[in-house]
Amino acid sequence: MKILKVVHTASFLLITPVIFGQRVVIPWPQVTDSSDLVDTHSRPIEYQEKKTWSFPEPGVYISNEFTGARVNEVTELNDSTFSLTIRPENFPINMSPWYAFKIWSRSPGDIYIKLRYEHGRHRYYPKTSKNGKNWTPVRQTDYFSTSKDTTAFFRLHTGTDTLWVSAQELMTSEWLAKWVRMLAEKPWIRDTVFGYSTLGKPLRAMKIGSENAPNMLIILSRQHPPEITGFKEMNAFVETLNGDSRLARKFRKNFYVVVAPMMNPDGVDNGHWRHNAGGIDLNRDWRWFNQPETFAFRAFVLGEREKHHSTVRYGIDFHSTQVDLFYMPADKDLPSGKGITRPWITKINKKFPDHPFSPEPSGLTGQISKNWILHELHAEAITYEVGDNTDREVIRKRGETSAKLLMKILLKEKY
């Protein structure tokens, strides 16, 4: 059964001018590529029905009744093979089909799972967990599909204990709240809520370092729900900024850091492939700010900048894609005519020659966070893309190293 819920954007739009005043007007370069002009007014999304599918004979149970799950339908093909339909929240949509479910069986045995994607192609290699926290990729000998397919086929070893299966590690808004609480035990970090998502979830930010510092650094993550590897590298990066090293202490005296670690909590918790609950790719809404998540973050950053009379020096938006790369402005497009991204990337790559980032200069007209930071805040910014399959240990170490290197570079700059 499909449950179609139309988000009541009409009422939001009607009251927008009253609450928020004038429409956002930011100087933005002439758009020549029409793919950069995206309508970001809300569109309906489809919610999955939350349920546990029970197959008493042969005694197999599959459930999406948990936060971050995604399975739309389950059918039994034979007593050991089950087909799971995975649909996006709406479409057209980026090819990043997220799935997550729990499975258990009355007696121990092998179960074959066929994922059948609608409007998508396979991207994420399945991982399993016994507790929803520690994840292991399905053994290669249990995996039978080729990538880029509209289906994925693999074998699980099930029993009475619940087995979690997910596209990537499950890291929901609950996980985030715990992480932020843990970090905010340090006196130099304040946990704050800068707004509410479409479905009313708190949008969290951390304010790190001296709010009276003359310089600001902006960090964003998780506009796109399945992009866990970028989120993990952001975790290591932010923890390093918060460290006890002399470098980190000096940095926090000179820089006020604003971190929005999960821009799209509705999408994350509802197992979306890409969009927020307004059915929109948030990383196309940084020109018009039609969605509450982007609107609230912009207002928050502008307010902090004004209140503390500081200047934004750099912005980083963490994402994931097939490979490790930085989307960065071309040097000629930077306000100062020269950037710090190139020297930074060179230094990171020297330390991680087997896992280098490739520098990809990208245009100024896409309606993405990087370009908003450039056009409205007049600061250099990048999209920090981590490969879907990059080794998790490399991600942690590289996140720590890239944070140290960036702190050194930013402290040496003469402002």
The residues binding Zn ion (CB under 5 A) are 224, 227, 319
Q: Which is nearer to Zn ion, 224 or 232 (CB)?
A: 224
Q: Which is nearer to Zn ion, 224 or 398 (CB)?
A: 224
Q: Which is nearer to Zn ion, 281 or 380 (CB)?
A: 281
Q: What counts of helices (H) and strands (E) characterise the chain?
A: 9, 20
Q: Is the dihedral of CA 62, 64, 70, 71 positive or negative?
A: positive
Residue 216 CB, nearest distance to Zn ion (Å)? 23
398, 348 Cβ separation under 8 angstroms:
yes
Q: Which is nearer to Zn ion, 7 or 263 (CB)?
A: 263
Categorise residue 16: left if φ over 0, alpha if ψ from -120 to 50, beta otherwise: alpha
Return the closest-CA partner of residue 391 out of 276, 180, 269, 236: 236
Residue 5 CB, nearest distance to Zn ion (Å)? 25
Residue 160 CB, nearest distance to Zn ion (Å)? 38
Residue 224 CB, nearest distance to Zn ion (Å)? 4
Residue 93 CB, nearest distance to Zn ion (Å)? 12
279, 45 Cβ separation under 8 angstroms:
yes
165, 100 Cβ separation under 8 angstroms:
yes
Token pair for residue 386? Answer: 């981590």
- Select the residue whose beta carbon is closest to Zn ion and give its number: 319
Residue 275 CB, nearest distance to Zn ion (Å)? 11
Q: Which is nearer to Zn ion, 36 or 227 (CB)?
A: 227
Q: Which is nearer to Zn ion, 60 or 282 (CB)?
A: 282
Residue 400 CB, nearest distance to Zn ion (Å)? 22
Return the closest-CA partner of residue 100 out of 228, 277, 222, 199: 228
Q: Which is nearer to Zn ion, 222 or 313 (CB)?
A: 222
The runs of H, that is alpha helices, within 242-277 are: 246-254, 265-269
- Exposure of 57 by Cβ count < 10 A (0-12 exposed, 13-18 middle, 19+ buried)? exposed
Calculate the alpha carbon distances from 96 to 50, 168, 207, 244, 294 in Å: 21, 11, 31, 37, 21
- The H or E element spanning position 405 is helix 392-412
Residue 230 CB, nearest distance to Zn ion (Å)? 7
Q: Which is nearer to Zn ion, 230 or 329 (CB)?
A: 230
